[in-house]
Structure 1
Amino acid sequence: MSKHLSHCQNTFKGSKLARLLGNLSGEEMDSFHKFLSSPWFNGSAKVRSIFQKVKGHHPTFHSPRLTHRSIFKKAFPGEAFNRHKLDKYLSDLCKLLQRFMAQQEFEKDENLRQGMVTRFLGQHGQYGLLEKHHREAVQKLERQPIKGAAVYGQQLQLLQELYFNPDCKKLPGAGAVLPKMMNALDREYALRKLFLACEAINVAQVAGEQLNISLPDEMQLWLSTFADDSHPVFRVFVNLNRLLQGEGDEGIFTETMQLALEHFDEMEYMERTAAISLLINHAARKYHQTGRRCFLNYVHQLQLFGLQKNMFLYNGKMNESTFFNISNTAVLLGKIEYANDFIEKNKKYLNEKEREEVVALAKAFLSLHDNKAETALEQVSRVKFISLRYKLIARPLKSQCLFEIQKTKPGYRRVLHSELNAFKKFINKNNKIQKARKTRYLDFIYILKKINNYSGKHEELESLKNKFKTGRPIVARKWLLDKINGISKKGEPSPEASPVDKSINLLTG
């Protein structure tokens, strides 16, 4: 076994337990310590000893001293190292951590607690207590001003447990429960279908595909059925569905955004994370299509909100697309210092195998937009990009850098020409790139070549501008438009033209 592989297998930081613990805040780590000290949950002193050993290395657990051997030595002083024995206690600690997480969520959700009490009473034949407790729980749910799919699901479950209890007298009065059950079922289904439809439409737009979603007719039925239903979650997803399908205006967007932010904490986890993500994607797409700066500001506001709510970390990791988009949005708004600070503070949350590539691209994008094209070119050139997704970000970025550098170093003009030809060949030969995405990159190459070889004819510029009127996404769309608009009659970019991209550079192109 190689020394590197042996080291990887003996360090704690890559384990499932380390990733789960990395998600906890310092306060939550203290609470988990108290949880482990309770004999009701944990009776093992060894488990507590192991936790004490790893706690000091939270949240990254990157210390080379934190190995399985050092953990074993802490828990079993004087004993010979036994990996099988240690794994058993690490597994126990992991199970207790998951139980603690479930307990934390259980404590936050009063409706869930009420449902558990109701189930307990029903299973123990206490129908009188069950009925009283059930009616109180259902009434409380009905009074709740913010109702998501989970609330309707809980309401349905409570009503079912009461109605189908053997001691329940179905007639004459209990039959009134049936319409309530059907109503709860309808609304839960409607919300979940809207939620999934929004996600499906968004994915289809990103991938450039068409999906057959049987939603419009159903949505019209729901809108007429729930006409008196003004609760925010339903409105959020109805509005999102309209926006994603190209209906609605900026007013609908801002109303939806306000509702989602105002009621974020009251929505269930999937609903609130999906709502914020879909709003970000829609605003970014609108900015990319229209160039309207207000949509870029909306993206930034939503990203700041998501960071505040710790929404972008999952198992102690941040998605690379999220990392790029937060950094790039700040750069495009001129918040260079914020973007640089974000990169430095959050790069530790990136997948370790891809961290170098992601950080290099983010810093190169920042440098280019800080009028440091040569620095950007150096940053993007010194990393060997392996993943296709990163190559598709690096290649256009490199071309943009070369275009800016050639203004003061004409020798780079030939380098840019060769780079664009090589990029075109790469796109055409790669079968892993979807057709719609290929078109975006090929349009970028075609337009940049035309700009670079501009002969001075006005009709050439008009022909290029018409490329942007189709509504079809183009990589670095606004940057290219800036170059076209900056061309003077002599065929050179005018001094007043902005040398940097003013549009969001989404990973989707």
Structure 2
Amino acid sequence: MRTIKVLELLHALKSHEKAAFSAYLTSPYFLPAPEYPRLLQLLETLPLSTQELPKTELYGRLFPQQPFDDQQLRYLLSDFTERLEHFFLLRQLAGEKEESALLQLEALHARETSKAYQHAARRFESIDRYESAKHFHRHYRAAEIRQEFAAQHGARDEVTDYVELADNLDRFYFLRKLQLQCERINYRNVLAREFDVSLIDEITRHVLRNQFLGSPLIETYYQVLQLLSGPEPETAFQSLLQLLEAHRDRFSVEDLNNVYQYVKNHCIRRINLGDEVYRERLFGIYQNILADERLMRHDYLSPWEYKNIVTLGLRLRQEAWVADFIELHLHHLPPNERDNAHTYNSAMLCYYRKQYRQAVKLLQTVEFTDLYYQLDARSILLKVYFETYESESLLHHISAFKIFLRRNKLVSAYQRKIYENFIRYALKIFRSSDSESKRKALAEEIRSVDHISDRAWLLEQLE
């Protein structure tokens, strides 16, 4: 479907930015056209799905006393679009104080304002303190500017300048190479084609031999790479936990999130392989994340992460902790997701507390806006009917669940497989005899199945 550029940009404006953009359009500094405010009002009435701008109508509203001039309107729309893109640039720059400080440093050096430049240099060093690839690249650029400034003012210390210049360039380059290799390994199962990260073996040997260039973040991504592809992933996992504990205050929020995601994924892989120790480890990692104010302020918690934390806590029998978590961290979710997430996760808590009637009542009020809610809610209902021995309701629900899996086109082949196996074995257990040997054989069969949902719950029913 065709998208009109100016409408796409307008719809990308956040609600709190609209007044700011309107003020920007009328600022005398930017030499505004008098038609901009009216054009903004007219374009805001058009939906994003608009396939063709109503040019004649727009022109008539903007210039009611003039005959239609297509070229004039095109020039006006083009200039308006450029203003909108420039506004986004200003907003982006305002949100990146480190990059703004570096650009200010460059501007003051270019204008040869020595005292102001030196003040800006000190400010830049105080602001840009969290390690990241961007941090190292900015400090490489700052060292270049400082070198030029020293040359102009006859104060160059060549050895010191070049060492800092080279070190920051190396840190940026080697860190990005390590990050790319980690991404390549992590996503190789979903990428359409493979790609190689050149010199990666030489780089890993070099950073190891040179004490990670004095950077805890480079050491951290080195350990992530060992976690993903090294011979001793458990050693790398423990090293990562120690590095996060010791240096988390030095890392950017983006890198903290990335590294925690690798660590969480490792835990989930181990859990899926039946290593139950990793449930406790993953729970501890989530608790560390929730206790980190920088991480929690940075962005909303996704509803699925919120649900995963609740599920994990409940499986570890931490009902009291989960009850507090549901209430205390609800405000970290996107506002439009809060009611549904609260209802669904409260239903989960009720189920684990064996408050079955209340669990079913809550699930009936969940808005199934997402496939995962639908699948999980159906699984909980199956468990409720199973544990309360409601044979008729269980069989009816299983039949409806199977139809849902078969007919819903949003259900992936993998999801269909794990839930079909879950249903099949739940029914087998429900119909099984009390023979201990047969139940043991059924338990072994469940343990041997590769793709199945809620394996632990199924095995519990055979104990």
TM-score, normalising length: structure 2:
0.66
Corresponding position of 2:111:
124
**Alpha-carbon distance between aligned partners in 2 of 1:209 and 1:469, rounded to the nearest angstrom:** 26
Match status 1:287 vs 2:274: no
**Alpha-carbon distance between aligned partners in 1 of 2:174 and 2:405, rounded to the nearest angstrom:** 42
Counterpart residue identity of residue 424, structure 1: K
**Alpha-carbon distance between aligned partners in 2 of 1:384 and 1:237, rounded to the nearest angstrom:** 40
1:110-259 pair list within 5 angstroms:
115=102, 118-125=105-112, 147-162=131-146, 181=165, 184-198=168-182, 202=186, 204=187, 209=190, 212=193, 214=195, 218-226=199-207, 227-230=209-212, 231-245=215-229, 248-259=232-243
**1:318 Cα deviation after fit:** 3.1
Corresponding position of 1:462:
441
Q: As a proportion of its length, which structure holds more helix?
A: 2
Residue range with higher mean Cα deviation, 258-267 or 186-195: 186-195
**Alpha-carbon distance between aligned partners in 1 of 2:230 and 2:257, rounded to the nearest angstrom:** 22
Match status 1:413 vs 2:394: no
Unaligned runs of 5+ in 1: 1-13, 19-93, 407-411, 487-509
1:320–1:358 Cα contact (<8 Å) kept: yes
Q: 1:329 to 1:404 in 2, by over 3 A?
A: same
- The 3-state SS of whatever aligns with 1:354 is helix
Corresponding position of 2:319:
336
Match status 1:361 vs 2:348: no
- The 3-state SS of whatever aligns with 1:119 is helix
Corresponding position of 1:326:
309
- The 3-state SS of whatever aligns with 1:432 is coil
**1:325 Cα deviation after fit:** 2.2
Q: 1:16 to 1:394 in 2, by over 3 A?
A: farther
**Alpha-carbon distance between aligned partners in 1 of 2:162 and 2:295, rounded to the nearest angstrom:** 41
**Alpha-carbon distance between aligned partners in 2 of 1:128 and 1:337, rounded to the nearest angstrom:** 59
1:147–1:233 Cα contact (<8 Å) kept: yes
**1:360 Cα deviation after fit:** 2.3
Q: Deviations over 1:218-274 (max 9, x none)?
A: 432211121223432122222223324585343321220121132111112211122
**Alpha-carbon distance between aligned partners in 1 of 2:259 and 2:344, rounded to the nearest angstrom:** 28
- The 3-state SS of whatever aligns with 1:433 is coil
Q: 1:211 to 1:175 in 2, by over 3 A?
A: farther
Counterpart residue identity of residue 200, structure 2: M
Corresponding position of 2:44:
none
**1:282 Cα deviation after fit:** 2.5
Q: Deviations over 1:417-458 (max 9, x none)?
A: 222232122122222222223222222222222222224484
Match status 1:345 vs 2:342: no
Corresponding position of 2:58:
none
TM-score, normalising length: structure 1:
0.61
**Alpha-carbon distance between aligned partners in 2 of 1:378 and 1:131, rounded to the nearest angstrom:** 66
**Alpha-carbon distance between aligned partners in 2 of 1:168 and 1:213, rounded to the nearest angstrom:** 48
Corresponding position of 1:260:
244
Corresponding position of 1:498:
none
Corresponding position of 1:309:
292
**Alpha-carbon distance between aligned partners in 2 of 1:100 and 1:176, rounded to the nearest angstrom:** 31
Match status 1:423 vs 2:401: yes
**Alpha-carbon distance between aligned partners in 1 of 2:455 and 2:338, rounded to the nearest angstrom:** 27
**Alpha-carbon distance between aligned partners in 2 of 1:177 and 1:280, rounded to the nearest angstrom:** 41
**Alpha-carbon distance between aligned partners in 2 of 1:255 and 1:338, rounded to the nearest angstrom:** 28
Unaligned runs of 5+ in 2: 1-13, 19-86
Q: Percent identity?
A: 19
Q: Deviations over 1:81-100 (max 9, x none)?
A: xxxxxxxxxxxxx99xx799
Corresponding position of 2:4:
none
Corresponding position of 2:258:
274
Provide the aligned length of Structure 1 versus Structure 2. Answer: 376
Q: 1:372 to 1:246 in 2, by over 3 A?
A: farther
**1:337 Cα deviation after fit:** 1.7
Q: 1:182 to 1:355 in 2, by over 3 A?
A: same
Match status 1:402 vs 2:381: no
